[in-house]
Chains A and B, each alone.
Chain A
Amino acid sequence: MNAKITSVELVDLMAQATSSGKRMCELFLRELFAVISQALIDGESVKVKGIGTFKITRVKPRKSVDVNTGMANEVASYNKLTFTPDKAFAEAVNQPFAQFETVVLDDEVTDEKLAEIDEQYPSLFDDITSMPEPPEDMPEPPAPSIEDLPGQPAEPVAEKPAQRPAEPVQEEPKAEQQVMPAMATSIEDPEIRARRLAATPLMGIPIDGPSEPEEEPEEEPEEPIQPEEPVQPIEEPVQPEQPAQPVEEPEPEDDFHRPAPRNAYTPTPEQIEKINKPDRKRWLWLSVAGAVVAGVLLWLWLSPGGNSGKQEQETVIAAADTVPDSVEVAEEAAPPVVTDIVTSQIVLVTLAEKHYGSPWFWVYIYEENRSIISNPNNVKPGTEVVIPPAEKYGIDAKDPASVKKAQRLSWELLKGK
């Protein structure tokens, strides 16, 4: 590559390529180019087979300017040697780019023409066109999220990168964050709130364990709430490769609880225990922020192999005396109620899509949570909603009649609003 082959190397290479010796090759080269040179000096052009044509052209004298002095001077005429490579030579050298051809650029291309092509080959763009469909289907869903946005502080930006890879887990901390500020002053539903807090520690414990105690206690003693229901959503996310939640919810609850509980529940009891302690509010905000980071870290840490995570949890258990009992309770209870948390990105429609397979079924989630949700278009981020079992309302995304019914319902609901 980009090496310069000297005469010595050239002779070596030639000797390898022929039966003649180096001496012969050297003599031949010298003689060959001597003859060519002589012919060129005589003003002849020389054509060498397989190499190319050497040609002498006379360059006329021309006027120029001396760059140093700025004086006009004249460049004398001289003979210029030009070389035109043989076709075989040129092709051999251009081998890497041989497949390219000169293309005529079509300047006439317009948007209309492109549109025609789209129509001609619709299948090519199936994937693309099918995607925008959801927005059309749900008229109101986007609204809630937009309305929610202004209300929330700046944290989401920081969270976003982390959130993408593991939506389910990280969303919860986020929801917390958004709600916290509001809660600090007025607490609408203590139960929900306590649950939410109960959920947090999962994220917060490994790093923030020590600081957390201060944060929660703010609540009234909400011990009685067995964290079973709220915890559920958390444990789903723990399985990273399970995107298809809708399937799991109805039946496999028990299977779930068996393997997951240790991870999912242990923090909760600890939490509950701590709820009784006095607190300072201002720690709340700080530790929640810490909890989000910790949650991401923990989740990342847990995902490759649960072992290390488990160990950590076990040490936590050791610290909290009451833990063993509550763990048991949680395992046995395993209620069939499925819940999920609304965030600024995840609204009722998104939840419906996720759990039932069609956004239209958001109406049923709304129905189920009428007590908590005042306006379906504007659900407070962090609100934990109960996802009713599909059978309760005859939800079946594959049944057009069922979807139709949900659509009609949603129109009526929205009209009423």
Chain B
Amino acid sequence: MDNKKLVETVANNLGRTTEDVNKLMEAFASVLYARCSDMDSVAVPSFGTFEPRKRNERVLRNPATNKRMLVPPKIVVGFRVSKVLKSKLK
């Protein structure tokens, strides 16, 4: 399911236009960005939690060239599936 179809389905179910839904999607994304940038995790009930996680820097070795590389630290977004959804997916 791509984004377009998703938006259409949601708009349909809510009885709103796709533009409205797109706006709401953007608002949700902006809130999500802001919260995750502050290292806060965002929980969506019965779906899961978006949580930023810090990864330490590390040294990698390219097996082909044997060159070692220093990978910088970074913050990645993780997603933890809620138990409800997990059991449904099983």
Contact = CB atoms under 8 A, between A and B. Distances in A.
A179 B32 CA distance: 76
26 contacts: A1-B39, A2-B39, A2-B40, A5-B43, A13-B34, A17-B30, A18-B23, A18-B27, A20-B20, A27-B14, A28-B10, A28-B14, A35-B13, A39-B1, A41-B88, A48-B6, A51-B28, A79-B90, A81-B89, A83-B50, A93-B75, A96-B75, A97-B74, A100-B74, A102-B60, A104-B70
Contact of A97 (B25, B47, B73): B73
Nearest to B84: A37
A7 B42 CA distance: 8
A88 B43 CA distance: 20
A261 interface: no
A1 B40 contact: yes
Contacts, number: 174
Interface string A1-34: 1111111001001100110100011011101110
A90 interface: yes
B63 interface: no
A36 B10 CA distance: 9
B16 to A, nearest CB: 8
A191 B40 CA distance: 79
A105 B70 contact: yes
A244 interface: no
Interface in B1-45: 1-3, 6, 9-10, 13-14, 20-21, 23-45
Interface in A61-92: 78-79, 81-83, 85, 88-90, 92
Contacts of B78: 83
A52 interface: yes
With most chain A CB atoms within 10 A of its CB, the pick from B21, B28, B40, B60 is B28
B52 to A, nearest CB: 5
A318 interface: no
B45 A7 contact: yes
Nearest to B77: A85
B28 A41 contact: no
7 closest pairs, A vs B, by CB? A100-B72, A83-B79, A50-B29, A49-B3, A17-B27, A18-B27, A85-B77
A39 B13 CA distance: 14
Given A28-B14, A31-B10, A89 B1 contact: no
Given A5-B43, A52-B77, A83-B79, 12 more contacts: A4-B41, A14-B27, A14-B28, A32-B25, A36-B1, A46-B6, A83-B77, A85-B76, A89-B77, A92-B33, A93-B37, A103-B69
B31 A94 contact: no
B86 to A, nearest CB: 7
Contact of A102 (B41, B42, B72): B72
A14 B40 contact: no
A39 B89 CA distance: 10
Contacts of B70: 102-105
B9 A35 contact: yes
Contact of A13 (B1, B35, B46, B74): B35
A396 B35 CA distance: 71
Contacts of B26: 50
A81 B9 CA distance: 21
Contacts of B88: 37, 41
A48 B45 CA distance: 18
A139 to B, nearest CB: 47
Given A1-B39, A5-B35, A92-B33, A24 B24 contact: yes
A29 B28 contact: yes
A102 to B, nearest CB: 5
Contact of B24 (A10, A28, A46, A78): A28
Interface in A105-119: 105, 107
B25 A48 contact: yes
A43 B35 CA distance: 30
Contact of A36 (B41, B45, B47): B47
Contact of A44 (B1, B43, B46, B77): B1
A100 B21 CA distance: 36
B59 interface: yes
B21 to A, nearest CB: 7
